[in-house]
């Protein structure tokens, strides 16, 4: 059985919760007792599908989604994990959390309102995270007379707005979440739409495999001389000569254990334990690679960053903890190059502050050399978070977009191994 993770985004009241409720309902994933709890007082036929995902008291009281709710359903051949993310831009941090691990983002647009600031913001998040697939569900088609012209117009408008975002293949579906049009069965009201229903899209979307190109193993901890780590990318085999980054020391793979057994090789996505022929004193957060295909190792790089801290703006010069895979290291922001306009997606002149929900291009300097890749070439070793030293809050998320051409003297030797 395959597993597909997707997220739903949209402005408040565009119908996200209703859509999820509808999907669960149409795939018979809602149990009787839960259905009963969705009933609307005073109306025997109505059902508040949105109540399914609003889990916290004040969410139900205010009728809005504040934090990501995870929901699970399955069909005959796939299991699904939905992260229902809040719409309001105040909660973008939660949207980013919910969307960071998905194969697909469904962005809802209320056909009556068209593209809103929120639509743009959500699309920007999809672009920032490089979500592999995007579906634009134009919802509430029942309220606009199932009008083909309006749907086409919204599609064209969205495409022109989003060109700068370099989103992957985008699919457009006209739906009514409330009534159920084009959700699991083709809508009789919209014969002009000949594409897939939403559920068909979910069932047939090609799920990208883990990155198999270059070996990247992140060391999580060691017990005695055994290293425990996750294969972020690539493949490792008994007898391989491997390199520990940063530092570039070489060793040989003596033993690999996975699933209570010794194995000859292991692949991306697996968590293994590893013995090397000599004691390499590797540390938590070090990256094991092959020597001919090693990550970049230096102390500074350029990132695209999304700021998540609602109370404190990003500060240049201040120390943060930087965290990527299992590595944690102190860092400083050396400079902020520009902010990205949330409306036009153009570079904005930097106006002195990077605030919550802002996207910006930012240069980071870490305390000692670390191993990384560009996010475009290897996602798992090209992304991370910034943690506020005082509050310990996760204050920002970044992806590495470039390596400036300057190196610390201490790391000059690494230039020869630089791949990007």
Partner 1 sequence: MENLDILEEEAIHILREAYGQFMRPVLLFSGGKDSTLLIHISAKAFYPAKFPFPVMHIDTGHNFPEALTFRDELVRQKNLELIVRKVADSIREKNLTEPRDKFASRNTLQSVTLLDAIQEFGFDACIGGGRRDEEKARAKERIFSFRDETGAWQPYNQRPELWDIYNGRIHKGENIRVFPISNWTELNVWNYIRREKIIIPSLYFSHPRKCLHYNGQLIALSDFIRLDPGDSITTKNVRYRTVGDMTCTAAIESEASTIDEVINEICRSRISERGETRIDDRISDAGMEDRKSKGYF
* Binding region for ligand GDP (CB under 6 A): 10, 12-18, 50, 65, 87, 139-140, 142-143, 176-178
- Closest Cα to residue 364, out of 348, 385, 378? 385
The answer to whether residue 325 forms part of the interface with partner 1 (CB under 8 A) is yes
Q: How far is the CB of 123 from partner 1 (least distance, A)?
A: 18
Residues within window 365-394 making contact with partner 1, judged by CB under 8 A: 380, 383-385, 387, 392-394
Q: Which helix (H) or strand (E) holds 200?
A: helix 198-204
Nearest residue (CB) to partner 1, 32 versus 349? 32
Encoded one letter per residue, x for contact with partner 1 by CB under 8 A and - for no contact, window 293-312 reads ---------------x----
Among 47-55, 117-125, 182-190, 238-246, the segment contacting partner 1 (CB under 8 A)? 47-55
Whole-angstrom Cα distance, residue 307 to residue 305?
A: 6
- Closest Cα to residue 51, out of 60, 42, 62? 60
Only one residue has tokens 């969307």, namely: 99
The answer to whether residue 353 forms part of the interface with partner 1 (CB under 8 A) is no
Percent helix, strand and coil across the chain, each to the nearest 5: 25, 40, 40
The answer to whether residue 63 forms part of the interface with partner 1 (CB under 8 A) is no
- Between helix 117-129 and helix 92-99 the angle, nearest 10°, is 40
Q: What does the buried/exposed string (b/e) look like for 91-124 if buried means 16 or more CB atoms within 10 Å of the residue's CB?
A: bbbbbbbbbbebbbbbbbbbbeeebbebbbbbbb
Only one residue has tokens 């909660």, namely: 91
Nearest residue (CB) to ligand GDP, 65 versus 187? 65
The answer to whether residue 88 forms part of the interface with partner 1 (CB under 8 A) is no
Q: Give the one entry of partner 1, ligand GDP, none that residue 142 binds, where binding means its C-beta sits below a cut-off of 5 to 8 angstroms depending on kind.
A: ligand GDP
Whole-angstrom Cα distance, residue 247 to residue 254?
A: 20
Q: Are the beta carbons of 218 and 229 closer than 8 angstroms?
A: yes
Q: Give the one entry of partner 1, ligand GDP, none that residue 356 binds, where binding means its C-beta sits below a cut-off of 5 to 8 angstroms depending on kind.
A: none
The set of residues, in sequence order, having a beta carbon less than 8 Å from that of 118 and lying 6+ positions away, is 9, 10, 11, 12, 87, 88, 89
Q: How far is the CB of 190 from partner 1 (least distance, A)?
A: 33
The answer to whether residue 77 forms part of the interface with partner 1 (CB under 8 A) is no
- Site residues for partner 1 per CB under 8 A: 1-3, 31-34, 53-58, 60, 66-72, 74, 79, 81, 93-94, 96-97, 100-101, 210, 220-221, 223-224, 226, 228, 230, 257, 259-260, 269-271, 273, 284, 308, 321, 323-326, 380, 383-385, 387, 392-394, 397
């Amino acid at each position: 059985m395959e597993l597909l993770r997707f997220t739903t985004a949209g402005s408040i009241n565009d119908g996200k919760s209703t859509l999820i409720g509808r999907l669960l309902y149409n795939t018979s994933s809602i149990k009787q007792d839960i259905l009963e709890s969705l009933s609307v007082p005073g109306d025997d036929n109505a059902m508040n599908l949105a109540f399914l995902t609003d889990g916290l008291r004040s969410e139900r009281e205010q009728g809005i989604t504040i934090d990501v709710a995870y929901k699970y359903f399955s069909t005959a051949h796939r299991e699904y994990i939905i992260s229902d993310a809040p719409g309001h831009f105040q909660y973008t941090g939660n949207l980013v959390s919910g969307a960071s691990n998905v194969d697909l983002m469904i962005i809802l647009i209320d056909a009556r309102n068209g593209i809103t600031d929120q639509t743009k913001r959500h699309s920007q998040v999809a672009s920032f995270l490089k979500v592999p697939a995007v579906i634009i569900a134009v919802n509430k088609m029942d309220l606009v007379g199932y009008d083909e012209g309006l749907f086409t117009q919204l599609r064209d408008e969205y495409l022109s707005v989003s060109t700068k975002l370099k989103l992957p293949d985008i699919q457009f579906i006209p739906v009514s979440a409330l009534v159920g049009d084009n959700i699991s069965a083709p809508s009789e009201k919209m014969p002009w739409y000949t594409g897939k229903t939403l559920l068909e899209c979910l069932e047939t979307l090609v799920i990208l495999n883990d990155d198999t190109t270059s070996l990247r193993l992140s060391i999580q901890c060691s017990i005695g001389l055994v290293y425990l780590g996750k294969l972020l990318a690539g493949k490792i085999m008994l007898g391989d000569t491997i390199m520990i980054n940063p530092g570039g020391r070489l060793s040989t793979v003596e033993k690999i254990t996975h699933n209570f057994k010794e194995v000859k090789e292991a692949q991306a996505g697996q968590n293994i334990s590893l013995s090397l022929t000599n004691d390499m004193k590797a540390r938590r957060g070090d990256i094991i690679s092959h020597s001919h295909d090693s990550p970049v190792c230096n102390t500074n790089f350029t990132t695209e960053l999304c700021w998540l801290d609602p109370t404190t703006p990003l500060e240049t010069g201040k120390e943060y903890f930087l965290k990527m895979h299992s590595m944690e290291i102190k860092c400083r922001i050396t400079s902020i190059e520009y902010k990205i306009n949330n409306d036009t997606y153009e570079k904005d002149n930097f106006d002195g502050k990077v605030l919550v929900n802002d996207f910006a291009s930012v240069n980071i300097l870490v305390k000692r050399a670390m191993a990384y890749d560009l996010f475009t070439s290897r996602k798992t070793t090209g992304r991370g978070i910034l943690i506020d030293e005082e509050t310990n809050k996760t204050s920002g998320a970044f992806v590495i977009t470039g390596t400036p051409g300057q190196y610390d003297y201490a790391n000059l030797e690494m230039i020869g191994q630089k791949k990007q």
